[in-house]
Structure 1
Amino acid sequence: MKDKVGREIEYLRISITDRCNLRCAYCMPESGIKLMDSSELMTFEEIEKVVKACAALGVSKIRITGGEPLVRKNASALVSKIKAVEGIEEVSMTTNGILLNEQLSELIAAGLDRVNISLDTLHSDRYYEITRGGELSKVLSAVDQSIKAGLITKLNTVIIRDFNYDELMDFVKLAEDLPVSVRFIELMPIGQGKDYKSVTTEEIRKTILKERQLEPFSQVTGNGPAVYYKTESSKGSIGFISPLSHEFCDSCNRIRFTAEGFLKLCLHWNLGINLKAALRRGCSLMELSKIIEKAVREKPNHHEFMMSMDNKVDYDTRKMVQIGG
């Protein structure tokens, strides 16, 4: 499936809930957000139907997100449904890791191929602060158990200048000690994220180079735009994801399906189509595929996060937790 500029769309990110068991400061207000009524959430059967329609168009990789996907009951059952769809080669999940240990065996049995765990600090007090109450020990245990279970494990780390910039080398050391990919991600100016000072991946890389040599590393598989390196003693790898400083829109291969049923074509723009009505009137798979294919042709050429939004009417004003990670 190609969009109007010829990008091959093969990757679908599916948010299965807008609920989260943390209140990360750069993601949502301390008081939380107005949650969707459960009747408005896409059912697992509706999600499965969208996956089948997308798979028929060439989508082969699925990532399950939230909110926090593991707060939704029986998330492993959805993994199993998606993994069984013809044409789907890989199912992964992004999670904060708090509930991962207690569901890990079920997820692996269901066919989960890889997991990305959000982890912005290795200090318990800072983790409690940034997440507004989270327990770091649960996340570190989940990382350890995921590795022991043989699950491909990546850590998503957002560097914030006045919060965790001094932990850069601690995360590098983590990638040297464990067979994980630590990915440094530029903070997106979405919702509460606009209130924090981001750091470019180029600055992060230069800081690391003061203490380590970095060698390009191409053996990490995945669906996104991360550029990977290894240090001389790495068991794992170090990745850099640069959506702002090095826009990678020209190679974007993804679309998003939100928890309320909106097929979202770009993280920045509020453009796409709500599939809920078609799904709930019982549209056929062929009809659904045609609706999706037509919508994808209008995928925006690029985001404009770095530009003033004063006169823009189509950009998404929701919190990241509402959009999907």
Structure 2
Amino acid sequence: MLFDNHGRQLRYLRLGVTERCNLRCFYCMPEEGLPWSNKKQLLSYEEMLRLVGILAKMGISKVRITGGEPFVRKDLMPFMADLSQIEGIEKLSITTNGTAPTRHIEALKAMGIHAVNLSLDTLNKERFHKITRRDEFDQVINFYQSLIDAGIRTKINTVVMEEHNLEDILPLVELTQKDPVNVRFIEEMPFNGGSKGYQKIDWNYKKILQLIAEKHPTIQKLDDHASSTSYNYQIPGARGSFGVIPAYSRSICGTCDRIRLTPKGDLMTCLYQNEGFSFRDFMRQGASDQDIQEKFMHFFKRRAKNGFEAEEQKSQSNTFESMATIGG
């Protein structure tokens, strides 16, 4: 088993495969997009497989593929199939915006995908267009329904934004009554790639939960597993459940079991930290597997206690990348 310097077991890798995205959600990036990295600046699939193999031997057992939008990278599905065969990787999942062709869903199911997280901030077509700056709502809803029909464990990730989608909170909660889906409401974070200024949020997880409880006073608290990022609930009799993620409040840092590798190969041991160490460059300079393992351990034993400590250590305060470049 793998532990950090605070005694937290590390089991979960979030692996960004691309920075690029075919949507332009205003809370993630400017309308014109970002200065994308070229192919040579990104980890190759072979380099990713090598790093995941090393991490699996160290104790990482769960991998989530993130982006950007993972499906915009060519040959993603064969790569995921190879990833699923790495000894020690017990759970493989993916986060997507749902704009990919639904034909991928059966292939995901066939390779034993553990879960699909669908980024969806509204159930209203007009609001979807305003938030994403793209007209892909019908495709995303079709992708969602295909996931449900295929029996794949599905989560909806919804960023809660004042003046933009508060009216979607209750309809999304009520979606869990019909479908076996877990809807997770996420506090808005400052990782917007410069699309707007850094600002504190008003709609934190407590306020979100209060709104839901006022409409559904009989909601039941569910057990949260040891490293859960969300506080989870259910409407009595519902097929699904919902949760609130204190991503900005950071009240769940004490049980964090995850690390990140960005599409360019930077290790991020905390979402709020400064730019991470480049394993891309380290490998390309000829590092052995043993060298790489020792370098991972070096940084795992120097993790920030929580997101606030990591933010304090940033070289430029109040400067945040896009979630697309960090890796979901």
Fold in common (TM above 0.5):
yes
Q: CA deviation at 1:107?
A: 2.4
Q: CA deviation at 1:8?
A: 0.9
Equivalent-residue separation in structure 2 for 1:305 and 1:155 (angstroms): 29
Tell me: CA distance 1:100–1:10, structure 2 relative to 1, closer, same or farther (3 Å).
farther
Structure 2 residue matching 1:225: 3-state secondary structure: coil
Equivalent residue for 2:207? 203
5 Å-filtered alignment, 1:1-325, equals: 1-191=2-192, 192=195, 194=198, 197-212=201-216, 213-218=218-223, 224-270=228-274, 272-304=276-308, 312-313=314-315, 317-325=320-328
- Structure 1 residues 134-174: Cα deviation after superposition (integer angstroms, max 9, x where no partner): 32111111111111112110000111110111222111111
Structure 2 residue matching 1:18: 3-state secondary structure: coil
Question: Which residue type is aligned with residue 25 of structure 2?
Answer: C
Equivalent-residue separation in structure 2 for 1:301 and 1:122 (angstroms): 37
Equivalent-residue separation in structure 2 for 1:147 and 1:223 (angstroms): 26
Equivalent-residue separation in structure 1 for 2:111 and 2:178 (angstroms): 29
Residue pair 2:227, 2:256 contacting (<8 A) in 1 also: no
Residue pair 2:41, 2:264 contacting (<8 A) in 1 also: yes
Q: CA deviation at 1:178?
A: 0.6
Q: CA deviation at 1:305?
A: 8.8
| Uncovered stretches (5+) of structure 2, i.e. residues with no partner | none
Question: Which residue type is aligned with residue 213 of structure 2?
Answer: L
Question: Which residue type is aligned with residue 322 of structure 1?
Answer: T
Equivalent-residue separation in structure 1 for 2:237 and 2:279 (angstroms): 48
Tell me: CA distance 1:149–1:20, structure 2 relative to 1, closer, same or farther (3 Å).
same
TM (norm. structure 2) is 0.92
Q: CA deviation at 1:179?
A: 0.5
Farther-moved stretch of structure 1 (222-231 vs 88-97): 222-231
Runs of 4+ in 1 over 6 A off after TM superposition: 220-223
| Uncovered stretches (5+) of structure 1, i.e. residues with no partner | none
State the identity %: 34
TM (norm. structure 1) is 0.93
Structure 1 residue matching 2:14: 3-state secondary structure: strand
Farther-moved stretch of structure 1 (69-78 vs 190-199): 190-199
Question: Which residue type is aligned with residue 96 of structure 1?
Answer: N
Equivalent-residue separation in structure 2 for 1:199 and 1:97 (angstroms): 26
Q: CA deviation at 1:279?
A: 1.8
- Structure 1 residues 259-302: Cα deviation after superposition (integer angstroms, max 9, x where no partner): 11111111111153211122224433222211111121111111
Q: CA deviation at 1:224?
A: 3.8
Question: Which residue type is aligned with residue 255 of structure 1?
Answer: I
Structure 1 residue matching 2:308: 3-state secondary structure: coil
Tell me: CA distance 1:196–1:142, structure 2 relative to 1, closer, same or farther (3 Å).
farther
Equivalent-residue separation in structure 1 for 2:250 and 2:304 (angstroms): 17
Farther-moved stretch of structure 1 (94-103 vs 189-198): 189-198
Equivalent-residue separation in structure 1 for 2:199 and 2:136 (angstroms): 24
